[in-house]
Amino acid sequence: MAETTPGSAASPASPGSAITPGSAASPAARSARMFNPGEKRSEVPEGLWTRCANCDAMLYTKALREAMFVCPQCDHHHRIGADERVRQLVDPGSFEPMWTDLQPIDSLKFVDRLPYGQRIEREQKKTGHKDALVAGKAFVKGRGVVLAVMNNEFMMASMGSVVGEKITRAIELATDENRALILVCAGGGARMQESTLAVSQMIKTSAALARHDEAGGLYLAVLTDPTTGGTAASFAMLGDLTLAEPKALIGFTGARVIANTVRQELPQGFQRAEFLVEKGFVDRVVHRHQLRNEIARLIDYAGK
Ligand SMILES: [Zn+2]
């Protein structure tokens, strides 16, 4: 099971995704170095500028951060990690992270370019997280929620046993405490290094969501760029209401694979959020600046 995200090769290192707030060794810092080669480098503090992945504008990173990593020139929604997403959505200081010690086991002794065990260690060091999902209780404009965010800074938010387990626990907590569940989805799908252990998370999370639904619980799915593979084929598509960020890539399989299989030219905007609203897969495209408001409004609308 080797699901790959279309365009994933460009993701971890692309300038658009390269804006991890935080350490000097962040991808943002690395991209800044890339764009300021040579002797002038020492004059420009690392990470001061970020190039927009869409319009190429050089943006003052601090201003971009204040704009929630939405390009002020072209409105491109840059990819952001889980910590930044939590910061943007919850009431300040209200997030209580949970199950932070869960970490993956290399049961298959999987080796690709790097043994899986080493890959996990490297990602843990880079992000300060044990795996690719951040979850916990929080308040959004005073409404109590359980928030789970897939972290595309950790192995491209691929879904392994830890991601599935934490999502399941988050769902069950939301059911038990009658809180709204907000799940911010991302990534290329099942983590190939965990094979069927990863794929079985689709079943586990879907079953927990069915119980949440039977108990009258509310689930808001927020799909971000990209949400594909097994993630798209399970919990990401099971929301009571499905929101998506503008132009987010959402789909199961890459467009090129589909085009080659059906031998047809695909329509313009295929697999983008706006196209999926037209086709009924997504309820609403929400600008990042409005996302927090919209979540609070929908919780009220659902009477939760
Ligand atoms: Zn731009």
Q: Where are the domains of the chain?
A: 20-76, 79-301
pLDDT single digits (tens) 63-117: 999 999 999 999 999 999 999 999 999 999 999 999 999 999 999 999 999 999 9
- What distance in angstroms lies between residue 58's CA and the mean position of ligand 1's atoms? 8
The answer on pLDDT for 27 being more than 70 is no
Q: How far apart are CA 293 and CA 285, in angstroms?
A: 13
- What distance in angstroms lies between residue 78's CA and the mean position of ligand 1's atoms? 9
- Neighbouring residues of the ion ligand 1, judged by CB less than 5 Å: 52, 54-55, 57, 71, 73-74, 76
- What distance in angstroms lies between residue 202's CA and the mean position of ligand 1's atoms? 35
- What distance in angstroms lies between residue 296's CA and the mean position of ligand 1's atoms? 28
- In 3D, which of 165, 13, 143, 39 has the Cα closest to residue 90? 143
- What distance in angstroms lies between residue 246's CA and the mean position of ligand 1's atoms? 13
For 79-301, the fitting CATH number among 1.20.1260.10, 2.140.10.10, 3.30.360.10, 3.90.226.10 is 3.90.226.10
Q: What is the pLDDT of residue 6?
A: 43
> At CA 281, angle to CA 213 and CA 212, rounded to 5?
10
The answer on pLDDT for 273 being more than 90 is yes
